[in-house]
Chain A
Amino acid sequence: MSIRDESIGDRIGTFGREAIRNGWTRERFVLLGLLGLVLVSLGPPFQVYLFTEFLIIALFALAFNLLYGYTGLLSFGHAMFYAGGSYGLAIVLRDLQPHIADTIGSGIAPLVTFVIGGLIAVVGVLLLAIPIGWLSVRLEEIYFALITLAFGMLVYSFIIQNPQGLTNGTDGIIVTLGITEIGGTELRLGDRQTYYFLTLAVVLPSIYAIWRIVHSPFGTICKSIRESPDRAAALGVNVTHHRWMTFIVSAVFVAISGVLIAGLANVASPYHSHWTTSAIPVIATVIGGATYFSGPIVGAFVYLYVRWGISRYPVLEAYWEFFFGVMLIVVVLYFKGGAAGGLVLLQAWLLDVRTAYERGGTSEAWAFVRESAAEKQRNLSARLSNLGRSEPSEGAER
């Protein structure tokens, strides 16, 4: 016990020293990031709400991209797992809260019920994803998109049908988080700030877990499948089995985001299972850049904050989807890297500008900026004059 504590303490100490001493190290960025996340909680309630929603959608899109970006399967039915998480939590809160309060006392019951509800929801989705994934991964490309769409809409019609009053039909189930009492202090889970920290405490470890999965041997195999399923199979990878496992992992993380959205929106709604909800991670991931790990996170940020920005102009407010439609088309046609790819290019460009500055001061840097702008313009006009022609076959081997 004590050894473990010391080692963790030591590690934190080393981490802190690294962050302070050695300039702009990774440690300092992490520390500043965490500080930024804490600062967000002090903002106005609506901003806290928006940022919480961003975290949840980011996890949703990231989990979706495990399947799309890392194994090349486009699911149009992930809303079923999102709604599965929401409904799991809502049903447990509605039906089991009194029993749990009887067993462990009403003080901490709301928090405990939330945790139990979340766990039951995730396990429920896991049990749903195992057979659905097993059946779906037999198909590829368009057919996979269609079968996941069909499964998703089956779940939607099940929820609408309201079997034995379980899902409360089209109204959905109201989620009340209640007031938890721990040692005399009251904790309102539904409070914007509290819920923000709760979301943070769930989403950050989940993102880290996905990061570890992607960078594990398992993740490497997934990427090899995306690049070429045939070659991966030739190397002895069981492609179908791997896709199935990825499907399940993806569904579990989507369920976690679904649990969180039910608590944030205070409702488990059938809308969460409709195919239009399945489109949200597709939009966020494609705009953000599916080939980058951070793409879905950047995309979720763009999705929520561009939408918020648009909503400040009443003329445009009602038509925000229009802009996302245009963004989708432009990104797929001209810029597969998406927003994350754009950030990477921007970073490389800024480094080039700095090199030019170090070589010959301001004039050299300015000359570089003008030259690269002119080059971009040439490229763009060349692209525009090629409009309507088929691309030179980058996928000729197919």
Chain B
Amino acid sequence: MTAVLAFVSVSDLVIGLSLGSRLFLIAVGLSLIFGVLGVLNFAHGAFYMIGAYVALVVTNQVVDNFWLAVIVGGLAVGVIGVLIEVGTIRPLYERLDGELDQLIVTFGFVLVIHEAVRFIWGSQPYSMDAPASLAFSVGIAGSTFSAYRLFVIVAAFVVMISLWIFITRTYFGSLVRGTSSDREMASMLGVDVPRLYTAVFFLGSFLTGLGGALAAPLQSVSPALGDQVIIDAFIIVVIGGLGSLSGAFVGAMFVGILQSIGPQFIAAGHIAIPFLAMVLVLLFRPEGLFGGIGE
């Protein structure tokens, strides 16, 4: 055990947590949407990418305010999500085999968004500066980290906690939980289910857009980004449990840390391990390691 621990440095751990934090912001929206609507949104990674590009455009061309750019990125993706949900996913709720049709439609949007992004911004990678107020370094246990990296970790924790309070403690949250466990009953009790669905889709899209914008300074922003993160997000929500918020959080941190420390242990095994974990969870605990929504 000590031999293993010797390999894991604090710096790897922090980088892993920051990778996990950005993955959490994608996975939590994906999980929320699946938990309530039963829709597996293949385009969620593409949404994340749009968030990053919009933040980039806002800081470079509109106003040089990072925080405003992050909010605008999240809202823009939320609006795009609502348009897609109302226009193309809503007609499929009642259809037999609707779940697979929704998966195929959202996959169609993966192709459309990928090409649209390439058309508008080109294939070259962009980089984005961290906000000036956080452009300093912090030393922890002998390693130095950019303050921004630590901020992203804190932001993920804040989002997790506020979302948890929102779902378990507010009126809207109780509607979400009720609809997620029995849609027909909720509808009979007077919940406007279509509107609630749209609201949840907005929230999930907003969170992933926010994640994309927040993570933009930590990664290069290119059209390949969406395809890379969606598979990670699938792994996370499966391991944590489709629909589970805490599952998305633990799953994201697991995958993030594995991505940062994995390469040192096993040459290329770190690519295989998440998929292996995904297969095992699907076979033995298809509902995920953590229960349903709000847990």
Asked if A359 CB lies within 8 Å of chain B CBs, one says no
Residues of chain A within 8 A of B200, CB atoms compared: none
Asked if A138 is an interface residue, CB under 8 A from chain B, the answer is: yes
Q: Which of B16-44 contact A (CB under 8 A)?
A: 40
CB B242 to nearest CB in A, in angstroms, measures 8
Nearest CB in chain A: distance from B47 CB, A: 15
A-B Cβ contacts below 8 A, count: 139
Question: Which residues of chain B come closer than 8 Å to A392, judged between CB atoms?
Answer: 94
| B40 neighbours in A (Cβ, 8 Å) | 142, 145-146
Does any Cβ of A come within 8 Å of B268's Cβ? Answer: yes
A375 CB-CB contact with B under 8 Å:
no
> Known contacts A141-B99, A153-B231, A161-B271: does B94 contact A326 (CB below 8 Å)?
no
Q: How many residues of B contact A (CB 8 A)?
A: 49
Q: Report the minimum CB–CB distance from B227 to chain A (whole Å).
A: 7
Dominant SS at the B interface?
helix
Interface residues as binary, A254-274 with B (CB distance below 8 Å gives 1, 0 otherwise): 000000000000000000000
Q: A74-B103, A161-B268 are in contact. Are A153 and B275 (CB under 8 A)?
A: yes
In this assembly, does B169 line the interface, its C-beta being within 8 Å of a C-beta of chain A? no
- Residues of chain B lying within 8 A (CB to CB) of residue A318: 118
- Interfacial chain A residues near B96, Cβ < 8 Å: 394-395, 398
Asked if A12 CB lies within 8 Å of chain B CBs, one says: no
Interface range for A: 35 or more
Contact A146 B272 (CB under 8 A): no
Residue A186 at the B interface, CB < 8 A?
no
- CB < 8 Å: which of A74, A139, A156 contacts B286? A139
Contacts of B90 on A, CB cut-off 8 Å? 388-390
Give B contacts to A, CB under 8 Å. 40, 86-88, 90-101, 103-105, 107-112, 114-116, 118-119, 194, 227, 231, 234-235, 238, 242, 267-269, 271-272, 275-276, 278-279, 282-283, 286
**Inter-chain pairs besides A147-B283, A157-B269, 6 sampled, C-beta below 8 Å:** A141-B100, A146-B282, A326-B108, A328-B111, A390-B91, A393-B94
In the complex, 18 of the A-B residue pairs with CB atoms within 8 angstroms, ordered by the A residue number, are A135-B279, A139-B286, A145-B103, A146-B234, A154-B279, A157-B269, A157-B272, A318-B118, A319-B118, A321-B111, A325-B108, A325-B112, A327-B108, A328-B107, A329-B105, A332-B92, A332-B101, A395-B98
